[in-house]
């Protein structure tokens, strides 16, 4: 009976290995597309390594958005140029597959939750654009200066302007309501909570302030100073679970900028950390880290919300000046069928049951990711000489460990019995 059980175990491992060999050649690497100049650099989102730059834009790009499935990247050109366009990019091949001319400029590009429409403005008019052919299907001329927009639904947009936030109805082309601010207290960037009951806005001038607005009656419910922040407020974004608002400021020539964690209920500040100086639009990567472009310092700060710290600063000077916004996708295939051979890093035991241990004899630190053979991240952390990964709740099979830093990108295999 013991001999038969051993044969069954070996047979199961053989099936797992064969499955791995079939799937590994098609594993997808997360990629990041960076807007901010006349070319669009593409990086490996896990290792931060530069891959290539997309060419062919008529002018500088700034805002970028990704479709929810990560298959397409959208961007538009800005400033006063003879030719300005919206662009649709194949995220796998990095090719521009469609472009369409736009009037004046593309500012504050947003994408609807169903991926059907893009919205952007040119400082006075908001445009509603079909994502298939990039043609404008509707527009709303507010007749006033527009700073930022936020999508409520596919027919309703909030737009911040001088001393007011307007609710625009594309169905009837009417201003449905507005939020009135005190004189000299004009709103800037906007976000709406998941329940679509509250609107949050930053003040466009000093002192740095955040506002909480009740959408039932469109009145300011409360405001709070962003005490301790350095420079002007720049952007705000909700945590993916809606429990926290992250606010960035741009700093100044002598001091770093700030990142603040704000409670959306009472607008209290729980965390304040420094980041590189500069402005940009924040985005979460698929693994939950927050990317903060800093255009004046040519860098992108990567913030770990779980540990409340900036874990990496990407210097973009070699391939892009002035990074402003990023978008993420599932990119080209990564061949992990061959394990990196290095005696300086050991993974044991193999096969493993409940834990696997990593040892390095190098002086370098690494970030690691434990991936399933389909490319899903199961664990992540930092390797400093020694690390232990808990496998207890993971099913049997083969997993990939990626170890990387600024100079190395290594791959190890793990079998869990």
What pLDDT was estimated at residue 28? 56
Q: How many CB atoms lie within 10 A of CB 309?
A: 12
Are 248 and 357 part of one and the same domain? Answer: no
Element (H, E) at 192: strand 187-192
On the question of pLDDT at 337 being above 50, the answer is yes
Which whole number is the average pLDDT over 67-96? 89
pLDDT for the residue 283: 97
Q: Is the pLDDT of residue 62 over 70?
A: yes
187 shares its domain with 252: yes
Tokens of 104: 């004046």
Residue 10: pLDDT band with limits 50, 70, 90: low
pLDDT of residue 69: 84
The parent domain of residue 140 ranges over 28-333
Dump the DSSP string for 214-281.
ETTTTEEEEEEE-TT--S-EEEEEE-TTSS-EEEEE---SSS-EEEEEE-TTT--EEEEEEE-S----
Same domain, 45 and 114: yes
Same domain for 269 and 409, yes or no, is: no
What span, in angstroms and rounded, lies between the C-alpha atoms of 77 and 86? 7
Whether residues 19 and 35 fall in one domain: no
* Range list of β-strands (E), 11-155: 28-35, 40-44, 50-54, 61-66, 72-77, 85-90, 95-101, 107-111, 117-121, 125-130, 136-141, 148-153
119 and 70 assigned to the same domain: yes
Q: Are 167 and 160 in contact (CB under 8 A)?
A: no
DSSP for 72-114 reads EEEEEE-SS-S--EEEEEETTTTEEEEEEE-SS--EEEEE-TT
Span 185-210, average pLDDT: 95
pLDDT at 236 over 90: yes
For the chain, the average pLDDT equals: 88
Q: Is 276 exposed, middle or buried (0-12, 13-18, 19+ CB in 10 A)?
A: buried
pLDDT (average), residues 109-128:
96
Give the model's confidence band at 406: pLDDT under 50 very low, under 70 low, under 90 confident, else very high.
Answer: low
Structural domains in the chain (count): 2
Q: Of 333, 365, 382, which one is at a domain's C-terminal end? A: 333
- Note the pLDDT tens digit of each residue in 135-167: 999 999 999 999 999 999 999 999 999 999 999
Q: Which pLDDT does position 369 carry in this prediction?
A: 82
Which positions ≥6 away from 205 have C-beta within 8 Å? 184, 185, 186, 232
Are residues 361 and 386 in contact, defined by beta-carbon separation less than 8 angstroms?
A: no
pLDDT of residue 400: 86
Are 275 and 398 within one domain?
Answer: no
Output the six-digit token pair for 198.
Answer: 């509250």
Q: Identify the weakest region by mean pLDDT among 35-39, 131-135, 352-356, 406-410.
A: 406-410
Q: What pLDDT was estimated at residue 338?
A: 53
Q: In the prediction, which pLDDT does 173 show?
A: 95
Of 243 and 13, which is predicted with more confidence? 243
Partner residues linked to 206 by β-bridges: none
Task: Select from 333, 357, 386 the last residue of a domain.
Answer: 333
pLDDT, residue 362, reads 77
Name the least confident of 162-176, 199-213, 232-246, 378-392.
378-392
* Of 208, 200, 188, 192, nearest in space to 146 by CA: 188
166 and 65 share a domain?
yes
DSSP single-letter state for residue 295: G
Domain boundary (284, 309, 333) is at: 333
Give the DSSP per-residue string, 329-373. EEEEE---SS----TTEEEESSSBSSEEEEEE-SS--EEEEEEET
Residue 265 pLDDT > 90? yes
Which letter does DSSP use for residue 184 in this model?
T
Q: What is the pLDDT of residues 278-324, one digit of tens each?
A: 999 999 998 899 999 999 999 999 999 999 999 999 999 999 999 99
202 with 284, same domain: the answer is: yes
Contact 182, 164 (CB under 8 A): no
Q: Which is it for the CA torsion 140, 122, 68, 262, positive or negative? A: negative
Residues 6+ apart with CB under 8 A from 335: 24, 25
**What are the backbone angles phi and psi of residue 138, rounded to the nearest 5°?**
-165, 165
Query: Within this chain, do residues 246 and 341 fall inside the same structural domain, yes or no?
Result: no
Mean pLDDT to the nearest integer, 337-345? 65
CATH number for position 183: 2.130.10.10
What is the DSSP secondary structure assignment for residue 289, as one 8-state letter? P
Same domain? For 394 and 324 the reply is no
Are 57 and 16 part of one and the same domain? Answer: no
| More confident position, 3 or 403 | 403
* CATH number of domain containing 353: 2.60.40.3080
């Amino acid at each position: 009976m013991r001999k038969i059980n051993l044969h069954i175990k070996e047979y199961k491992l053989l099936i797992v290995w064969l499955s791995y060999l079939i799937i590994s050649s098609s594993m997808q690497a997360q990629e990041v597309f960076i807007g901010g100049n006349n070319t669009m650099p593409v990086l490996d989102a896990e290792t931060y390594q530069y891959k290539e730059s997309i060419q062919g834009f008529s002018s500088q790009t700034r805002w970028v958005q990704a479709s929810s499935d990560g298959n397409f990247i959208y961007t538009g050109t800005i400033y006063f140029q003879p030719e300005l366009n919206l662009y649709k990019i194949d995220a796998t091949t990095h090719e521009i597959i469609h472009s369409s001319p736009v009037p004046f400029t593309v500012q504050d590009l947003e994408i609807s939750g169903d991926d059907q429409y893009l919205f952007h403005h040119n400082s006075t008019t908001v445009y509603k654009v079909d994502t298939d052919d990039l043609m404008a299907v509707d527009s709303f001329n507010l007749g006033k200066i527009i700073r930022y927009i936020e999508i409520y639904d596919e027919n309703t947009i909030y737009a911040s302007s001088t001393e007011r936030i307007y609710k625009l109805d594309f169905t009837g082309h009417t201003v449905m309501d507005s939020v009135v601010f005190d004189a000299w207290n004009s709103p800037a960037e906007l976000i709406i909570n998941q329940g679509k009951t509250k609107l949050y806005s930053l003040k466009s001038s000093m002192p740095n302030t955040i506002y909480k607005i009740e959408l039932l009656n469109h009145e300011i419910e409360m405001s709070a100073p962003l005490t301790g922040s350095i420079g002007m407020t720049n952007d705000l974004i909700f945590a993916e679970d809606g429990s926290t608002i992250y606010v960035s400021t741009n700093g100044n020539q002598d001091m770093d900028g700030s990142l603040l964690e704000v409670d959306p209920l009472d607008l209290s500040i729980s965390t304040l950390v420094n980041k590189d100086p500069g402005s940009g639009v924040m985005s979460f990567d698929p693994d939950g880290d927050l990317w903060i472009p800093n255009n004046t310092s040519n860098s992108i700060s990567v913030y770990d919300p779980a540990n409340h710290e900036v874990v990496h600063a990407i210097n973009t000077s070699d391939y892009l000046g002035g990074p402003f916004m990023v978008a993420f996708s599932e990119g080209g295939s990564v061949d992990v069928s061959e394990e990196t051979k290095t005696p300086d890093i050991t993974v044991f035991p193999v096969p493993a049951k409940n834990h696997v241990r990593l040892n390095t004899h190098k002086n370098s630190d690494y970030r690691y990711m434990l991936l399933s053979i389909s490319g899903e991240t199961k664990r992540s952390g930092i390797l400093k000489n020694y690390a232990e990964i808990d496998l207890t709740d993971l099913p049997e099979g083969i997993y990939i460990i990626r170890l990387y830093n600024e100079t190395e990108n290594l791959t190890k295999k793990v079998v869990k019995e």
